[in-house]
Structure 1
Amino acid sequence: MWRKPEGDFEVVETPKYERTGTWRFILAGLFAANLFLLHAMRLTLSVSITAMVNSTSSDPESLLNATCRSPHLINTSLANTSTTEPVVERNGEFNWSKEEQSRVTYAFFAGYMISQVPGGYIAQTYSFSWTVGVGVAFTSILTCLTSFAARLSLYALLALRFLEGIGEGVITPCIFVFVTKWVPIEEQGFLLNLVASGSTLAMVSTMPLSAMLCASDLGWPSAFYIFGFGGIVSCILWLINAADGPEHHRWISREERDYIMEYRPPSTKRSPKFVPWRRMLLSPVVILLSIQSLAKCLNFYTILTELPSYLKYMFGIYIVEDGLINGGIHLGTASSLVFCGWAADKIIKERILPKSVVRRTCIAVSGFIPALCLATIPFVGCNYEVILALILLNCICFGFSGGGDSLLALDLAPKFAGTLQGIVGTVSHSSGVIAPMFVGIMTNDQDSLLQWNLIFGSLAVIGAVWTALFLTFGSTEEQEWARDEHEAKDDITTLCDE
């Protein structure tokens, strides 16, 4: 047996041989590199579009009329002049309205959402390594064609971004399949969040790097070419080195192969032939987890996509030009995710706390403290430093999900973790579309401190309520429908009959 119950604790027995071998860590690093480049391809458009679109001003009036004044602006003569940012002549080649620019963002997330479940199912049932390889290659090639599509027409760019979303969307559920196939149970939290941190680190570096490339003589297309070509190289390295399990790998040592196969969950040692779709989709725990993840990601995507607008219109500064703010926030999130995943594994392994207590504690911290941070912002007025500190703390505490709900697909249904994460991801990542729409409705294109305070207050209430509901009615234990494959087959028949 790979584990034995001892009271409320789950005890992982120590292997009888040394834990030699590093291939699981090499593959985790390659996977993280793929995610880094995929998210760089996604995010670079948000910077490059400022160079693509024809605009003769960086909107100095919005800075002059900023509701609050940041100390940076107050301490400079710019605060007393007609503008707080030099007017920059931008002769972009495309005359796209704000609405048309927003459609480009929505197109990506539309494709990203609808491909999560198919991606998880294909990876779980057939091959996760080839699903990752094809998804990265497909997205990278399309990224290299961005300038061609944009110059062809806006609709060509919309179609390309939609297809890019599909290509990237199949990758996220593959993380969970990789972990169930390649990672011993006591290392799953750390390695899963190490892989996932690749996407967060992309948020730290992509914006300033893309801005430098757009401002260079190479022009805005260079950002897409560089990240797209990098994705192709990363894909080739992945396909050369990856396999669907240690038992299929060409170069892994016998010791590492035996260690992984003995100490990974036994239910994942073979791919399932049937998925209990009906009971999975109708499971109260899955529904609660999906909505709770949506509420939490609504907070995250609002900060990710709308923080530049908030700082611009409230304080008169540009977050794109303040790499310290942008980098600090996302680096804090990435560090917290990896550390909390490692700490959760360590606490469970050392039997300090039961797994269920660790998971629920991390869920509570990642839900309630960010809600408290956002709820506090309206009470600090225009205190720039305190607001930034609260936003940073909000994102760091969000990283506690690395030891909590980010791992629940592995706990609830280890055999179907990829498919389950596809379902949860489809719901949660819809916040990438909902967040800018929500902010647009709340501000009505007339940003004021009161409107933004209402936004932060609403996000706080939504996050706290759904966290409380999941902690009250949800579960962190393996579900009954995830255990019996014969019942899964009957479930498919019932679903088809209906």
Structure 2
Amino acid sequence: MVTTRRFSLEPSDKFKGKTIGYRHLQCLLISLGFSLLFAMRVNLSVAIVAMMDNKGSNPDFPQYNWSQQTKSHILSSFFCGYILVQIPAGGWARRFGGRLFLLLSVTVSSIFALITPLSVSWGGWALICALRFCQGLCQGVTLPTIATLMSKWAPIEERSALQTYCYSGAQLGIVAMLATSGVLCSSSWGWPSTFYLPGLLGLMWTGLWLVFGASTPRDCKHISAAERDMIEESLGHNQKNAEFTKTRAVPWKDIFTSKQFLVLIFNHCTNNWCFWTLLTQMPSYINSVLGKDIKSNALLSALPYITMLALSMACCPIVSWLEKSKLLNATVSRKIFNTISQWIPVVTLISLGYLRPDQGDLAIILLTVTVAINTLGHFGYAVNHLDLAPNFAGTLMGIVNCSSNVMGIIAPLVVGYIVTDTTNIYQWRIIFTIAGCMSFSGNFMFLIFGTAKQQPWNDPPRTVHEAEPLKSLSSDAEKGQEDRGELGKGDVILLE
């Protein structure tokens, strides 16, 4: 006998989840925690402008005469630590629960943010590189942990929308940090306040997460039984399956020989190249090429991410309705949104490199469109690891994020070596063209090989019970019928 159970990716016709439930509170807390982690990640992108040139900010704080190469090393150091724990983090979260690792990530990162200004005054750029490396190490568990949490909390019918709500915390953190950093740098607290504010808020968040956070609906004390059963029924989870998933070995060979997963990695890498090129270099571009001061620089740098956040929130209900109504199957939906998110930026990025310095308003519009439209990728490639193997979502996200965030190291370094004169628009043109080509190639491969079908290696191994030998069954049947006097010589036995 062969026993196996597969749970379809397609939404159930009988889905009756409440519009608002405890799973949404979990998403809200995850989103807020993620926003604070991103605020601690990007604060240096604006602060370093004031640290290297304090004319447009509070001049009472020290200025550091670092080269562009040194600046690139500082901005890249975070990602050197960030990629190291990505792959094991998924397994840790699966085994020990996502609640613990998200708590550690936010708490320790907050402490490092608070001591950053002191580390610069003590050890200069070398010590801040070391500190950012350690902060990256702590945040390396974040995305695999969120993926693991979502694989337990998000019903299939709400998967894209709930995960996008969580990931929108990144835009919220970027917006909040970039929008306020200019004012903070010019205030009496100076550029160190860009590190103090998110650090303190992060420690406050940990208190909320300790009270309300949970790794799974079954571990949650506050969720109603009806909502818990609805989530577990949608995902096919029960106590026995949950225990088996925790201890099951990761099918590494199947993962790394899956062309669908390899394409997902490639798509993540090309998208991250564009994302981190813009996120880390936009303040420098706006300051050097467009000639904006630190206050207007911060607000203009935040504008694309404000638009991105608004577009993300507006699209979530639409995508959720499309999935529940089955107007589009999952694979078609992923490819449509992925194409919009990655091929429109190809045009805007390359166009950006051909603008004159006096076309500042048009440059801001193109930057805003490039960054904002990229949010639709949350409904495309960004949720695809949950499609392929929800039982190993954290591990897949760890592998993908480890690979893709190598781009977070390489992209700023490439900018540092190509853009030797930050006022030279021709050097920036090379950077934008490279980013556009990356975006085009990533989606092209996803269109050909990408899929949202659940892969066979996600399921537990099939249990096969050997049938008894046919001859043995025949002799047993003959003997039984002879004992009852029902079988005569020459009679034929039919085995069902």
TM-score by length of 2: 0.83
Answer whether contact 2:179 2:299 (CA < 8 A) is retained: no
Tell me the distance in 1 between the aligned counterparts of 2:299 and 2:192.
Answer: 26
Equivalent residue of 1:295, what SS?
helix
> 8 Å contact 1:337–1:400 — kept in the other structure?
yes
Q: Is the 8 A contact 1:57 1:90 kept in 2?
A: no
Q: Give the one of 281, 285, 303 matched to 1:310.
A: 285
CA distance in 2, matches of 1:472, 1:232: 45
Q: Which residue identity lines up with residue 149 of structure 2 in the other structure? A: F
Q: Which residue of 2 aligns with 1:433?
A: 409
The Cα of 1:375 is off from its aligned counterpart by 2.8
* C-alpha contact (below 8 Å) 1:377/1:453 kept by paired residues: yes
Q: Percent identity?
A: 30
Aligned partners of 1:334, 1:354: CA distance in 2, in Å?
26
What is the rounded CA distance, in whole Å, between the counterparts of 2:5 and 2:27 in structure 1? 23
Q: Indicate the SS of the match to 1:315.
A: coil
Asked whether the equivalents of residues 270 and 441 of structure 2 are also in contact (C-alpha less than 8 Å), the reply is no
Q: Which residue of 2 aligns with 1:297?
A: 272
Alpha-carbon distance, 1:319 to partner: 6.6
Go from structure 1 to structure 2 and tell me whether the alpha carbon gap of 1:322 and 1:160 turns closer, same or farther (over 3 Å shift): closer
User: Among residues 447, 452, 460, which one is paired with 2:436 in the alignment?
Assistant: 460
Counterpart in the other structure of 2:25: 26
2:384 corresponding residue in structure 1: 408
Q: Which residue of 2 aligns with 1:238?
A: 209
Distance 2:28 2:122 in 1: 37
| 8 A contact 1:2–1:13 mirrored in 2 | no
1:51–1:92 contact (8 Å) kept in structure 2 = no
Residue 89 of structure 2 is aligned with which of 103, 119, 136?
A: 119
Give yes or no for contact 1:340–1:402 (8 Å, CA) kept in 2: no
Instruction: Letter of the 1:144 partner, please give it.
Output: L
1:350 aligns with 2:325: yes
Structure 2 residue 177 is the aligned partner of structure 1 residue 206:
yes
Q: Please, which runs of 5 or more residues in structure 1 have no aligned partner? A: 59-86, 488-498
Q: Counterparts of 2:54 and 2:390 in 1: how far apart (Å)?
A: 54
Shift of 1:318: 4.0
Which AA in structure 1 matches 2:332? Answer: V
Q: Does 374-383 or 467-476 show the bigger shift?
A: 374-383
Structure 2 residue aligned with 1:10:
10
1:182 and 1:441 map into 2 onto residues whose CA distance is 44
Q: Does residue 442 in structure 1 map to residue 442 in structure 2?
A: no
CA RMSD of aligned residues (A): 2.8
8 Å CA contact 2:77–2:133 kept in 1: the answer is yes
Inter-CA distance 225–354: structure 2 relative to 1 (3 Å threshold): same
Match of 1:475 among 451, 457, 462: 451
How has the CA–CA distance of structure 1 residues 166 and 56 changed in structure 2, closer, same or farther, with 3 Å as cutoff? closer
> CA offsets, 1:102-141, max 9 Å, x none?
3332221111111222222211222111111111111112
Contact map agreement 1:116 1:423 (CA 8 A) in 2:
yes
Q: Given residue 335 of structure 1, which amino acid in structure 2 is its aligned partner?
A: A
1:370-413 CA distances to partner (integer Å, 9 max, x unpaired)? 11222333555554333332222222221111211110010011
Deviation, structure 1 residue 4: 8.3
SS in 1 for 2:83: helix
Distance 1:324 1:312, change over 3 A: closer
SS at match of 1:107: helix
Structure 1 residues 486, 90: closer, same or farther in 2, change over 3 A? farther
2:338 aligned with 1:363: yes
Q: Residue 152 of structure 1: which of 122, 136, 155 is its match?
A: 122
Name 2:132's counterpart in structure 1: 161
1:280 is displaced (CA, Å) by 1.4
Question: In structure 1, how many angstroms separate the alpha carbons of the residues matched to 2:385 and 2:453?
Answer: 10
Displacement of 1:213: 3.1
1:164 shift after superposition: 0.7
Worse-superposed segment, 125-134 or 220-229: 220-229
2:80 corresponds, among 89, 110, 119, to 110
1:494 corresponds to which residue? none
Q: Deviations over 1:133-163 (max 9, x none)?
A: 1111111122222233223313433222111
> Structure 1 residues 452, 170: closer, same or farther in 2, change over 3 A?
same
Please give the per-residue CA displacement for 1:335-382, whole angstroms capped at 9, x wherever unaligned.
Answer: 333443442232121011111111111111112111122233355555
**In the aligned structure 2, how far is the partner of 1:233 from the partner of 1:91?**
27
Summarize the Cα distance change of 1:380–1:206 in structure 2 as closer, same or farther, 3 Å threshold.
closer
Aligned length: 454
| Partner residue, 2:306 | 331
Aligned to 1:72: none
Aligned partner of 2:479 in structure 1 is none
Please name the residue that 1:397 is paired with: 373
Q: Measure the CA separation in 1 of the matches of 2:346 and 2:300.
A: 20
Supply the AA of the counterpart residue of 1:166. L
Q: Contact conserved, 1:265 with 1:414, CA < 8 A, in 2?
A: no
Residue in structure 2 matched with residue 496 of structure 1 by the alignment: none
Q: Which moved more, 1:414-423 or 1:300-309?
A: 300-309
Tell me the distance in 1 between the aligned counterparts of 2:447 and 2:325: 24
| In 1: Cα distance, 2:446 partner to 2:250 partner | 24
| Whole-Å separation in 1 of the counterparts to 2:37 and 2:236 | 29
Q: Is the 8 A contact 1:2 1:264 kept in 2?
A: no
- State the AA in 1 paired with 2:112: L
Specify the code of the residue in structure 1 equivalent to 2:284: S
Give the partner amino acid of 1:159.
A
Letter in 2 for 1:298: W
Q: Secondary structure at the match of 1:10?
A: coil
Counterpart residue number, 1:188: 159
For 1:148, give the aligned amino acid: L
Contact kept in structure 1, 2:50 and 2:294, CA below 8 Å: no
Note if 1:39 corresponds to 2:38: yes
Distance 1:300 1:121 in 2: 27
- What is the CA-CA distance between 1:427 and the residue it aligns to? 1.5
Alignment equivalent of 2:107, drawn from 131, 137, 152 = 137
Give the AA of the match of 2:369.
L
Q: Gaps spanning 5+ residues in structure 2: where?
A: 464-496
The TM-score normalised by the length of structure 1 is: 0.83
Task: For 1:174 and 1:332, locate their aligned partners in 2 and report how far apart those are by CA, in whole Å.
Answer: 27
- In structure 2, relative to structure 1, the CA distance for the partners of 1:314 and 1:45 (3 Å cut) is closer
8 A Cα contact 2:273 2:408, kept in partner? yes
Q: Do the aligned residues in 1 keep the contact of 2:69 with 2:417 (CA within 8 Å)?
A: no
| Partner Cα distance (2:452, 2:422) in 1 | 43
| Aligned mates of 1:331, 1:56 — CA distance in 2 | 26
Paired letter, 1:279: D
Matched letter for residue 134 of structure 1: L
- Of 258, 261, 268, the residue aligned with 1:286 is 261
